[in-house]
Amino acid sequence: MKEFLQKLGKSLMMPISVIAAAGIFLGLSAVLQNPNIVGQSFVEMTTVQQVLGFIRTLIGTLFGNLPILFAISVAIGMAKDEKATAAFSTVIGFLLFHVTLSYMLGLDGITAATTNVDYLTKEVGMSTLEATKIFATYDTVLGIFSFRMSVFGGILVGLFVSMLHNRFYQIELPTAISFFGGRRFIPIITVVLVPFLALAMFFAWPFLNKGIVGIGEFITGAGAFGPFLFGFLERLLVPTGLHHILNQLTRFTPVGGVAMVDGQQVSGALNIFNAVLAQATPDIETMKEATRFLAQGKIPFMTFGLPAACLAMYRAAKPQHKKRVAALLSAAALASFTTGITEPIEFAFLFVSPILFVFHAFMAGLSFMLADLFNIGIGNVQGGVIDLTVFGILQGLKTNWWITVMIGTCYSFVYYFVFKWVINRFNVKTPGREDENEAEGSDVVINDEATIGDAIVSALGGKENIKEVENCFTRLRLVLYSVDRIDEAAIKATGAAGIVRINDTNLQVIYGPKVERIALEVKRSCSIVA
């Protein structure tokens, strides 16, 4: 189960990277359409505003079709091989899934017309509140009337089709029908079995939806403790990689909140934030409610706290290792400061000092709680200075971004002095403080693109020990024949910030933002790609 969840968490990252970038464009568009920032004359320039409106339309389409993007991403991430076939089959499965649900709902007399608020209030005699609740239960997905399952439906279909794909993509059929064997069999079996999945969800979804909504109501009803609990758990889950799943629950399901935006019910913190940001006149209070689980809670410790921790670790390093440590930690601090990618820093201390790790998790939870208490409204997903600038400073004082900067400044001092005291008091083996026998070879960092793949493959026990190579934002995710055959010192010599042994066959190596290039080089060395 751990291996499955690890792989699922990685699979969810592809659409998130697109959403994060699209959100920045949406934020900049909102700035350029705000007369208080760019002036009334600029806002009234027809050509400029038409271009900005076009950008908003493009991004709105992207956000409106997240379920199928997640379905394809999950299928690609979970498929063992022939990933293009898995993606193609998932599109077919996604359409059939919702067509089946639509047909079943129609048999019960539930259609887009009979769930309309006007119909329910005027023809059925319901109150507006009752009618709105029923209307919010359903959605139109790619023009198909269906349950409002959001990205959950996409993830479910992606998982189901990838399971079929892994089971049957090498199937051999009798000679007479052998043309339909192998990868050609996957779309066929998808057409046959996905409707049964939809039938099961037709009966199960109403109960699952109530459970998800109940969790969301519990968290939102917990006041400021809800964001604290989220921030604390999210950091604690970083070593396992399962924090990605917790993030997606709050960003795209009712766990992260439910709100009415322009007469439409929107669920999930990130969905609500983007829907409000796309309004001509954004509802700032609804936006602030949505951002409780977004970037505002991350900025103090990602942009301010962890770079200060890097300075403390550098100051605590042994003199002979300071040059190496400076190169390692400065790159990690810059990634955290600009984009909110923190794992290269966190893996420098989380395994060698549980005290610092728990402190860090507590400070993360506290950061989310303080942002909620001070009514801060900074959205998006990363938590670096880019999000602070685009979604905080450029949106005006109404976001209370200046309070975030004040909190972050305090975090800088707290992180620096706590890290420095704990490291010196307990002789924590942060980078540059390892015993000489432990640090052997770690001063050698291989940066040559032509050789780093070969060096990593050799450190992993050779290509004969490697089954699968994938990556997410910061981690090289590996399936090996035996984790015991790796050379950890040699892996760290390639510039790795940390190593996580999931089990006897699954390994993760933390490289930070450069992992995409490294994964490609490793695949080339293993002859996995041409």
Q: Catalytic amino acids?
A: 472
Helices (H), 183-268: 185-220, 225-236, 243-252
What separation, in Å, do the N-terminal and C-terminal C-alpha atoms of the chain show? 32
Local structure of residue 479 (DSSP, 8 states): E
Confirm if 165 and 82 have CB atoms less than 8 A apart: yes
Whether 483 contacts 500, CB under 8 Å = no
* Residue 65 one-letter amino acid: N
Q: Which residues pair with 470 in a beta bridge?
A: 477
Q: How far apart are CA 41 and CA 281, in angstroms?
A: 17
What is the C-alpha to C-alpha distance for residues 313 and 343, in angstroms, rounded to an integer?
Answer: 15
Strand partners, 510: 475, 498
Q: Rounded distance, CA 315 to CA 321, Å?
A: 11
Helix (H, G, I), strand (E, B) or coil at 141: strand
Cα dihedral 276, 282, 288, 290 in deg (nearest 10): -10
| Joined tokens for residue 71 | 């379905």
Rounded CA separation 137/254 (Å): 12
459: CB partners within 8 A, 6+ apart: 486, 487, 490, 491, 493, 494
- Comparing CA positions, the residue from 94, 52, 97 lying closest to residue 74 is 94
In one-letter notation, the amino acid at residue 9 is G
Residue 469 DSSP SS3: strand
What is each CA distance from 307 to 243, 244, 299, 336, 338, in whole angstroms?
21, 22, 12, 7, 11
